[in-house]
Chains A and B, each alone.
Chain A
Amino acid sequence: QVQLQESGPGLVKTSQTLSLICNVSGVSITSDGYYWTWIRRPAGKGLEWVGRMYPTGIPNYSPSLESRVAISLDTSKNQFSLKLTSVTAADTGAYYCARWVQLRQACDVWGQGTTVIVSS
């Protein structure tokens, strides 16, 4: 059974860097056909795609966030991470990691999510 679990600080100070980790179990993140993805839901808004990474490729980021975001994989720990720099209150919300399945063109497994509050 594939499971994803986010972890990281629930509170980040304005202008600092938000760092989250997604631990993956039940499948290797180096398996073919899967992209490892971050999605968020800002407070009071809808879902927003943040970015994704394929083990052998370069990451893809949302154009609105790409100047501040970085996604990386740690194959030794079977986990991937998200870093978002220069955060503001607009970055407050729930953050989800998910598996994108290329054959299905969809995110079929999601983590439970973690809430991040940005405050001074």
Chain B
Amino acid sequence: SYVMTQPPSVSVSPGQTATITCSGDKLGDKYVSWYQQRPGQSPILVIYQDLRRPSGIPQRFSASNSGNTATLTISGTQAVDEADYFCLVWDSGTAWVFGGGTTLNVL
């Protein structure tokens, strides 16, 4: 089955850039979407088709996907960005697969 690996946690100071990675075999050949889940809330879509932002998502959220790694970048991180972040792909053998999730701590 397809597996995607994310770091369990990432810490960043307010105003700095946070980078969250998602790794998987030939991940660059698949479409990746990213979801933010704040404590006690349902997930929201922040990136789809590797790098596209839905309307309403701040420009400080950007992403890329190449080779075996997809990357979510949050520039000028704010306290409100503190949340869990998950990547999601579709794999022909496993169907839809989430990464394990990364907790972003804004310290």
Contact = CB atoms under 8 A, between A and B. Distances in A.
Given A52-B96, A108-B54, A47 B101 contact: yes
Summarize B's interface: helix, strand, loop or mixed.
strand
A108 B54 CA distance: 8
A49 B44 contact: no
Nearest to B84: A46
- Name the residue among B1, B45, B86, B96 with the largest chain A CB count within 10 angstroms: B96
Interface string A44-82: 001111001000000011110000000000000000000
Contact of A104 (B49, B84, B90, B95): B49
A108 B46 CA distance: 9
> What is the size category of the interface that chain B forms with chain A?
20 to 34
Interface string B56-74: 0000000000000000000
B101 A46 contact: yes
A113 B38 CA distance: 13
Interface stretch (B9-17, B29-37, B75-83): B29-37
A1 interface: no
Contacts of A47: 35, 37, 43, 86, 88, 98, 101
Contacts of A48: 98
B84 A49 contact: no
14 contacts: A41-B37, A46-B84, A47-B86, A47-B98, A49-B97, A52-B96, A62-B95, A62-B96, A96-B42, A106-B33, A108-B48, A110-B42, A112-B42, A113-B42
